[in-house]
Chains A and B, each alone.
Chain A
Amino acid sequence: MNNPQLNAAGELIHLLSIEGLPKAMIHRILDTAESFLSVTDREVKQVPLLRGKSVFNVFFENSTRTRTTFEIAAKRLSADVVNLNIGSSSTSKGESLIDTIDNLAAMSADMFVMRHSESGAPTFLAQHLNRISGGAIHVINAGDGRHAHPTQALLDMYTIRHYKKDFTKLRVAIVGDILHSRVARSDIHALTTLGCPEVRAVGPTTLLPSHLENMGVRVYHDLRDGIRDCDVIIMLRLQKERMTGALIPSAQEYFKHFGLTEEKLKSAKPDAIVMHPGPMNRGVEIDSPVADGPQSVILNQVTFGIAVRMAVMSILASSKGA
């Protein structure tokens, strides 16, 4: 299979999806992130690795939080950061995307962090850059359509490894709007690659894609059953803005069945951790006492996310091109 993420030597030159990432590469990213985590506690929260390099954040879809964490990560590596918010409405894919990118590449970009509403846009960009720059310009997918959000999955894996150490003994439940979630897809691939024996998908039939069993996932339509004896619970945001049809009756109705409350959380293991990629809809998919409770690691995920993005950027920048 043509895998534009890796060069012939097996080095990571782009991060486009978790699919096709070898287990050893995922662990290398997590190990490197662990070292970067200590940078955050210091007097000077910066290391000079990417000094003189330019990282362009190109967001064709709005996301203040993800863009900010990439910006902080790049700045902690001493890179110059340029933020571009490009409304997807004004660009039609294809010719104009390439034109935009060629212009930015001509401004000596070393790395693009891209979010796009179309699945596959970052891959398209990576292939184009491989042609024009020989893989010297790197692409990080910061979320594309329903396809993938690899850095979110990597920070989720970092969080799980931090609290649970060994993936091969874990039962993990992903709860909610899996149909519209690129985070869920990327998490499932990452968990499977890392040897997690049981991944569950929990949600109403209308929010679960049909091919889940083929990904080795067990499907549940009841929250208590779905999280029973789980070590890790990943709650997903109810993606209201992505919901075109009437897939759920109402937010209240959704909360009644799939909102994680303290009472429902009791069916998971007592030391289970609760994760959420943010931003949360309190009172829709998660109840406030759980979000702020002792089992919640949601804010720690944000901190880990910066270290993981620093690791990805520095590993990409250390590759020798395509």
Chain B
Amino acid sequence: MILPNPESLYARLREQVDKAFPDRSELGLIGVHSGGAWIAERLHADLGFGLPCGFLDSAFYRDDFSERGLKEAPKPAEVPFEVAGRTILLVDDVLYTGRTTRAIVNHLFDFGRPAKIELAVLLDRGGRELPIDAQYVGKHLPLKPEESFVLTRDDQGAFRLELEVKPSE
């Protein structure tokens, strides 16, 4: 498979967000650790927002805790604005089963009741297990269950995309 250039995916996503939210003075931007946090930081710097950027980790809200346990280093939640009554834009790198998004949405509600939550992702790889969808998508690119996208960031902050294939057990 020829992988898309993550920088052009990002440019496409940025354009959609820019168009959808011309007034960003009160919009709450939240990146999901770790890939989504990088994208959110970039959006925040490139587009300009009235509020500081927030970050959430799904670790404490995952539904697979009893099977997979707690991940090595969950990141502290940073939500530097009032959530209650606000429109929130969540940003993640890859949308797959929707379980991470479910965890993040639950996490967010423990800060308050938002007016609306929308989701922006770099890649939608299909395979949803929950009724969750992204409103802003860099690209739809279905993968097989054993494959996964891995987003990394180089020293200059540029995105790189790799395909990881897990050997079937």
Are B76 and A35 neighbours in the complex by a CB distance under 8 Å? yes
> What bracket does the count of chain A residues touching chain B fall in?
20 to 34
Which residues on the B side are within 8 Å of A35 (C-beta)?
57, 59-60, 74-77
Determine if B73 is an interface residue (Cβ-Cβ < 8 Å).
Answer: yes
Which residues on the B side are within 8 Å of A315 (C-beta)?
70
Are B60 and A49 neighbours in the complex by a CB distance under 8 Å? yes
Residue among B57, B70, B74 facing the most chain A CB atoms (10 A cut-off)? B70
Are A319 and B65 neighbours in the complex by a CB distance under 8 Å? no
Determine if A42 is an interface residue (Cβ-Cβ < 8 Å).
Answer: yes
Say which residue of A39, A46, A318 sits within 8 Å of B70 (CB atoms).
A318
Determine if A32 is an interface residue (Cβ-Cβ < 8 Å).
Answer: yes
Are A38 and B78 neighbours in the complex by a CB distance under 8 Å? yes
Are A43 and B112 neighbours in the complex by a CB distance under 8 Å? yes
Which residues on the A side are within 8 Å of B106 (C-beta)?
48
Q: Mark B91-117, 1 if CB is under 8 A from A, else 0.
A: 000000000000000110111100000
Which residues on the A side are within 8 Å of B109 (C-beta)?
44
Q: Mark B49-76, 1 if CB is under 8 A from A, else 0.
A: 0000000010111000110111011111
Q: Mark A26-59, 1 if CB is under 8 A from B, else 0.
A: 0010011011111100111011110000000000
CB distance from A158 to the nearest CB of B (A): 13
Which residues on the A side are within 8 Å of B59 (C-beta)?
35
Determine if A314 is an interface residue (Cβ-Cβ < 8 Å).
Answer: yes
Are B76 and A38 neighbours in the complex by a CB distance under 8 Å? yes
Are B110 and A47 neighbours in the complex by a CB distance under 8 Å? yes
Distance between Cα atoms of A288 and B66 in the complex (Å): 47
Instruction: With A49-B65, A318-B65, A318-B69 as known contacts, state yes or no: A44 contacts B110, CB within 8 Å.
Output: yes
| Residue of chain A at shortest CB distance from B74 | A35
Are A43 and B110 neighbours in the complex by a CB distance under 8 Å? yes
Which residues on the A side are within 8 Å of B107 (C-beta)?
47
Distance between Cα atoms of A39 and B59 in the complex (Å): 13
Which residues on the B side are within 8 Å of A34 (C-beta)?
76
Distance between Cα atoms of A34 and B112 in the complex (Å): 22
Q: Which of A295-320 contact B (CB under 8 A)?
A: 314-315, 317-320
CB distance from A320 to the nearest CB of B (A): 7
Are B76 and A37 neighbours in the complex by a CB distance under 8 Å? yes
| Residue of chain B at shortest CB distance from A28 | B72
Say which residue of B65, B72, B75, B111 sits within 8 Å of A42 (CB atoms).
B111
CB distance from A264 to the nearest CB of B (A): 37
| Residue of chain A at shortest CB distance from B69 | A318
Distance between Cα atoms of A317 and B84 in the complex (Å): 32
Are B69 and A46 neighbours in the complex by a CB distance under 8 Å? no
Distance between Cα atoms of A32 and B68 in the complex (Å): 16
| Residue of chain A at shortest CB distance from B57 | A35
CB distance from B44 to the nearest CB of A (A): 20
Q: Mark A151-162, 1 if CB is under 8 A from B, else 0.
A: 000000000000
Residue among B60, B61, B106 facing the most chain A CB atoms (10 A cut-off)? B60
CB distance from B75 to the nearest CB of A (A): 6
CB distance from A161 to the nearest CB of B (A): 14
Instruction: With A35-B76, A43-B110 as known contacts, state yes or no: A48 contacts B61, CB within 8 Å.
Output: yes
Which residues on the A side are within 8 Å of B65 (C-beta)?
49, 317-318
Known contacts A44-B109, A319-B69; 15 further A-B pairs (Cβ under 8 A): A28-B72, A31-B73, A32-B70, A32-B74, A35-B77, A36-B60, A42-B77, A42-B111, A43-B83, A43-B110, A43-B111, A47-B110, A49-B61, A314-B70, A317-B66
Task: State the B residues within 8 Å of A (CB).
Answer: 57, 59-61, 65-66, 68-70, 72-78, 83-84, 106-107, 109-112
